[in-house]
Every structure is written in C-alpha cells, then in structure tokens.
C-alpha cells in the first residue's frame, strides 16, 4: 500500500472533503494546493501515465494534523 492509498482510504473512512484534508495537512505544518491533493487522490495506478506519488512529507503532515 502506498501513501496515495492511505490518504485516500483515511479520507473516505472519515468522510472528509478535499478542503478539510488540506486544512488537516496545514494543521500538521505544511501547505498543499487543491490541485496537488487531487493528483494524490486520483485512482490511477503507479504504472499509468499522469500518476503522481504522494510524498512522505505530505502523508506525515496529514497524520500529524489528524492527531492535533
């Protein structure tokens, strides 16, 4: 499971919007644009063209923001 899957799964499990995910990441100490977030949440596979891997820093700040 890659970070994109974790981010997508937690988002759906908690039923939170893209805007709220951005706020949570910001609480963790990082700014992410909506455009970047949408690429991380896209359901493309790793070998598909246009796939963007969610960086370690983004998932770390998202999880930190959830704790806060």
Tokens of 30: 């990082």
Q: Is the pLDDT of residue 47 over 90?
A: no
Model confidence at 51, pLDDT cuts 50, 70, 90, reads very high
- Alpha carbons 50 and 55: distance in angstroms, whole number: 15
* Residue 1, pLDDT score: 86
Assign 16 to helix, strand or coil: coil
* Residue 2, pLDDT score: 94
- Alpha carbons 41 and 58: distance in angstroms, whole number: 12
Supply the range of the domain harboring residue 16: 3-67
**Total domains in the fold of the chain:** 1
């Amino acid at each position: 499971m890659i970070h994109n899957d974790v981010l997508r799964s937690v988002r759906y499990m908690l039923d939170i919007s893209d805007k709220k995910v951005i706020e949570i990441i910001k609480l963790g100490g990082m700014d992410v644009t909506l455009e970047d977030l949408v690429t991380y949440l896209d359901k493309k596979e790793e070998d598909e063209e246009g796939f963007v891997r969610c960086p370690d820093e983004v998932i770390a700040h998202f999880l930190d923001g959830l704790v806060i």
